Amino acid sequence: MRSQDIRDRSVRKEPVPPEQLDALVDAARAGGGWAFERLWRELAPSVAGYLRGRGVPDADDVTSEVFLVAFQQLATFDGDGGRFRSWLFTVAHHKGVDAFRRASRTPDGEPYVADTDPRQVDSAEDSALSVIESADVRQLLASLTADQADVMLLRVLGGLTIAEIAELTGRTEGSVKQLQRRAVGRLRAQLEESRPQPVPLRAAPSIAPSR
């Protein structure tokens, strides 16, 4: 599927019910191409949003790489829909690391100038990370450390548990909980700062009765 297709579906929608996700994974594992296509449509926007949130170069292309791995290994995958989702984001995490390594070995290309460059970039609002709809997500993530942002993205977009994030990132569960707690506190403070402050009301001037 093309990158534009991922962006077109990055609008927020209700998540797939667990029982429906289970059925799709079972059908795809049994060879149902339609089911894997549906898994792509349902989960690719969140995977792409996670990768963009981490600042992964060419996030849409990396998303395609993630689903290619999923397609190639699905026959040997053992688990339900929830486990499939967690496994998918584990693959995305590793593919993101690979993308950063590739980018570090690639000479810089032409700089991007928004007014003159025909290439398009996604705004923060277009990202699948839409849990805070009224906020500038990119700015909020920039206020976190890289580790805090990674934990929040895996929790919100990937739906991974604390234990799964700990296993994926090589941290203890206590460390992941601490990162999440600090990130949530920082995000809450950022949102409070961004809210317009109420203007104090002044008492109406008294008017002397006319004679």
At 179, is the secondary structure helix, strand, or coil?
A: helix
- Residue 119: predicted pLDDT: 38
* The dihedral sign for the CA sequence 137, 37, 22, 68: negative
pTM exceeds 0.75: no
Look up residue 43 and give its two tokens.
């989960």
Contacts of 151 (CB under 8 A, 6+ apart): 165, 169, 176, 179, 180, 183
- Residue 20: predicted pLDDT: 93
Q: Residue ranges per domain, the chain?
A: 1-106, 134-195
Residue 172 is given by DSSP the state: -
Class of domain 1-106: mainly alpha
pLDDT tens string for the chain (211 positions)?
444 454 444 444 566 788 999 999 999 999 899 999 999 999 999 899 899 888 888 889 999 999 999 999 998 899 999 999 999 999 999 999 999 888 887 655 544 443 444 434 443 333 334 443 334 566 677 788 989 988 988 888 788 889 989 998 899 999 999 999 998 888 888 777 766 655 555 555 555 555 5
The CATH label, of 1.10.10.10, 3.30.70.3270, 1.10.10.60, 1.10.230.10, for the domain at 134-195 is 1.10.10.10
- Residue 104: predicted pLDDT: 81
- For residue 210, the Cα-to-chain-centroid distance in whole angstroms is 66
- Residue 134: predicted pLDDT: 35
